[in-house]
Amino acid sequence: MNKKTLKDIQIKGKSVLVRCDFNVPLDDKGNITDDRRIQGALETIQYLKDQGGKVLLISHLGRPKGKFDSKLSLEPVAKRLEKLLSTKIIFFSDEEIISDKTKEKVSEMNEGDIGLLENIRFRKEETDNDEAFAKELASMGDVYVNDAFGTSHRAHASNFGLAKNLPSAVGFLVEKELEFFTKTLENPKRPFVAIIGGAKVSDKIGVINNLLAKVDQLIIGGGMAYTFLRAKGFAVGKSLLEEDKIILAKELIQKAKSQGVDLILPIDTVVAKTFDNKAENWTVSVNSIPDDAMGLDIGELSIELFNEVIQKANTIIWNGPMGVFEMTSFEKGTKTMAQSLAKSKGITIIGGGDSAAAVEKFGLADEMSHISTGGGASLELLEGKILPGIDSIEDR
């Protein structure tokens, strides 16, 4: 990675603006129900404090659409940070985020102090990537650190805009994400297997296209597998099918062949007549899916086949569930994939979003080499795209 990291910048006595991803889930009463995103930022914050920085944290929470919304205040995050770091957090409860009063208080911060601004998306200028707003934010700091991987695929004032106005570096969390995604993609230990699932082919075209040039095997499961099965001539009944992507699926199958990549599809599937956890379900071969039934999970033989490939791999990337894992009747394919990755001796990388949620749900998070903190951002990296929030950081 050629971007500056925390170790490349002088911190002592400097005001450090840190973009974090504190976009945590809240319950009806405003309690944080999962603080992993906050935990993920602690290493960077503690380091900056220990180095004698004046640390000013910036984040968004939810989608307030440019207006103050007390339900989306970052105050609960400030309290949780205080607990986790056992230190005082100065919370700037400013509906305008950076009024003159806040700027004055920020300028009074001492070395080792940690402050948190109010939800940056209370200002419309944030998502508009407004230049004047970015300059105003930048006027409060000497250095900018991006540690919010989950928003790095967006060009907003508090990431892209700040990097344009201040000396910059990535934080430890972003550094770790990039190490796994770029190192793996550029120089994988082979065999290199990608497992792609989820609902739609259309969401994953870019990922499949990009990965076909890199992997040895590509396993496709989940709802999108039925469009590929249809492209191979199988009838798929009432399963998820994107008619307008059948030709594309055929092309991808052809591309895999010409590049020497094994494109592996399910060979059997768990079907039901309705999209319902309580519906009667049974397993059929993919060449005998009934007209009036839909495939909602991969079957036992597919599980066995996929597992065999995974156990032989030295690098594995997984993005997207194998079936409707939210329903217990159709979770087995996804659960056993997670177990299979947990058992693997290779490097295992889990893209954010649903696959990360599945790995957490089945209690296997600690068994993986890396679980990405950004669903959209990791998907864009897998597509081979450049992330503006990271591209804008200074090179070493």
Q: Give the three-state DSSP class for 168.
A: strand
Q: What value does the CA radius of gyration of the chain take, rounded to a whole number of Å?
A: 23
Known active-site residue 37: yes
Encoded amino acid at 81, one letter: L
The CB-of-77 to ligand AMP minimum distance in angstroms stands at 26
Closer residue to ligand AMP in complex, CB, 183/200: 200
Q: Which of 62, 112, 376, 384 is catalytic?
A: 376
Judging by beta carbons within 10 Å of its beta carbon (0-12, 13-18, 19+), is residue 258 exposed, middle or buried? exposed
State the DSSP string of 309-349. HHHH-SEEEEES-SS-TTSGGG-HHHHHHHHHHHH-SSEEE
Encoded amino acid at 225, one letter: A
Closer residue to ligand AMP in complex, CB, 131/276: 276
Tokens 């006027």 sit on residue:
139
Known active-site residue 105: no
Known active-site residue 200: yes
- If you ran DSSP here, which 8-state letter would residue 396 be given? -
The CB-of-369 to ligand AMP minimum distance in angstroms stands at 21
Of all residues in the shown chain, the one whose CB is closest to ligand AMP is 198
Q: Which of 200, 255, 361, 385 is catalytic?
A: 200
Closer residue to ligand AMP in complex, CB, 222/374: 222
Q: Which of 369, 375, 390 is nearest to 150 (CA)?
A: 375
The CB-of-353 to ligand AMP minimum distance in angstroms stands at 6
The beta strands (E) that lie in the chain are given as: 15-19, 54-58, 90-92, 114-117, 143-146, 168-170, 192-196, 217-220, 262-264, 268-272, 281-285, 294-298, 315-319, 347-350, 370-371
Q: What residue ranges bind ligand AMP (CB under 6 A)?
A: 198-200, 203, 222-223, 240, 295-296, 320-321, 323-324, 326, 354
Closer residue to ligand AMP in complex, CB, 155/220: 220
Token pair, residue 65, equals 């659409």
The CB-of-214 to ligand AMP minimum distance in angstroms stands at 20
Tell me: cis bond preceding 191? Omega within 30 of 0 counts: yes
The CB-of-234 to ligand AMP minimum distance in angstroms stands at 14
Q: Which of 3, 14, 19, 37 is catalytic?
A: 37
Closer residue to ligand AMP in complex, CB, 200/385: 200
Closer residue to ligand AMP in complex, CB, 161/223: 223
The CB-of-264 to ligand AMP minimum distance in angstroms stands at 16
Q: Give the three-state DSSP class for 15.
A: strand
Known active-site residue 376: yes
114 HSE (CA, 13 A, CB side):
23
Q: Which of 323, 353, 374, 389 is catalytic?
A: 353
Catalytic residue ranges: 37, 200, 353, 376
